[in-house]
């Protein structure tokens, strides 16, 4: 069975986000005032697995081992059938 | 009026995505086989504007000037009231 996977990674609350603060400052230089800037990264891919549970277990392992840094990132996994 | 804005940036079709291919290769080294890897960046912020149309116009200008490179990126703007 082929599954579409989306992994959404964001920094945990309280972590400094230099990318977001740079965006906010650069927008301010262009006279745009914005607040509470956050950045989120999404990785999408397709994956073969026996069933949804197996797919979820595999993707969770990928997140722990490579896609995210569990110390600083929160992640969310969405899996749908192709 | 305060609006919540989300800008979703992805590379246009046909553009090489070295980040995605690196992820795919690194996952393969860990014995995970995935395909069609894509990456998407999301920037979220809040913004003051008179109405939704003005907010959209402002955010579109931000995208053109700073947040995206319209030559290589597709972008999608979502605006909701706070």
d(CA B42, CA B23): 18
On the question of pLDDT at B82 being above 90, the answer is no
CB atoms within 10 A of CB B75: 18
Chain B: closest CA distance from residue A38 (Å): 5
A82 band by pLDDT with thresholds 50, 70 and 90: confident
Question: What pLDDT score was predicted for residue A11?
Answer: 97
d(CA A56, CA A62): 10
Pairing mode, strands A73-81 and B2-11:
unpaired
d(CA A23, CA B65): 12
In chain A, % helix, strand, coil (3-state, to 5) comes to: 35, 40, 25
- Residue A49 touches chain B, beta carbons under 8 Å: no
d(CA A29, CA B22): 34
- For the structural domain made of B2-81, what CATH number should be given? 3.30.1280.10
Contact A44 B33 (CB under 8 A): no
- Contact A34/B45 with Cβ under 8 angstroms? yes
- Residue A17 touches chain B, beta carbons under 8 Å: no
- Contact A39/B41 with Cβ under 8 angstroms? yes
Query: Nearest Cα to B23, choosing from A69, A3, A62?
Result: A62
Q: How do the domains of chain B map onto residue ranges?
A: 2-81
pLDDT in tens, A8-60: 999 999 999 999 999 999 999 999 999 999 999 999 999 999 999 999 999 99
DSSP state of B71: T
In sequence order, the β-bridge partners of residue B43 are: A39, B7
pLDDT in tens, B18-61: 999 999 999 999 999 999 999 999 999 999 999 999 999 999 99
- Residue A37 touches chain B, beta carbons under 8 Å: yes
């Amino acid at each position: 069975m082929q599954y579409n996977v989306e992994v959404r990674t964001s920094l945990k609350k309280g972590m400094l986000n230099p990318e977001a603060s740079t965006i906010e400052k650069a927008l301010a230089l262009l006279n745009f005032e914005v607040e509470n800037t956050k950045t989120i990264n999404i990785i999408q891919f397709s994956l073969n697995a026996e069933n949804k549970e197996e797919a979820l277990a595999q993707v969770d392992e990928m997140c722990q081992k490579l896609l995210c840094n569990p110390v600083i990132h929160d992640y969310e996994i969405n899996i749908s059938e192709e």
